[in-house]
Amino acid sequence: MSRKKFKICGRPEDYEKYFKPAGVFFEMLQENELSAEELEVIKLCDFENYNQTEAASLLRVSRTTIQRLLKSARFKITDSILNSKAVKINGKN
């Protein structure tokens, strides 16, 4: 089964960014990795206030795909905040 091409808006193709708790060395941290798809979905739905149906239409995927990605991204971000983990944003699509 091949993955459907996901439309990412305005992002460089290959990059990585980290967000981590202040004053803690990377070597001491666990990390959660957000995919480019998860970042795009959480940006559209939680930052730009698109509903899931609108986001699905913009990205040309199903609403259930949006729902799955949102749930995953929110869990990773919340886990990172509550458990002092780094968030690695993987820009590779």
The confidence band for 1, taking pLDDT boundaries of 50, 70 and 90, is very low
Task: Note the pTM of the prediction, 2 decimals.
Answer: 0.79
Enumerate the domain spans of the chain.
35-90
pLDDT, position 51: 97
Neighbour-count burial for 60-84, b at 16+ CB within 10 Å, e otherwise: ebeeebbeebbebbeebbeebeeee
92, 8 contact by CB (below 8 A): no
CATH fold of 35-90? Arc Repressor Mutant, subunit A (1.10.10)
pLDDT, position 24: 86
Whole-number Å distance between alpha carbons of 30 and 21 = 11
Whole-number Å distance between alpha carbons of 33 and 31 = 6
| pLDDT, mean of residues 70-91 | 94
Q: pLDDT per residue over 5-64, tens digit each?
A: 555 555 545 567 888 888 888 888 999 999 999 999 999 999 999 999 999 999 999 999
pLDDT, position 93: 57
pLDDT, position 78: 97
Residue with tokens 């967000």: 19
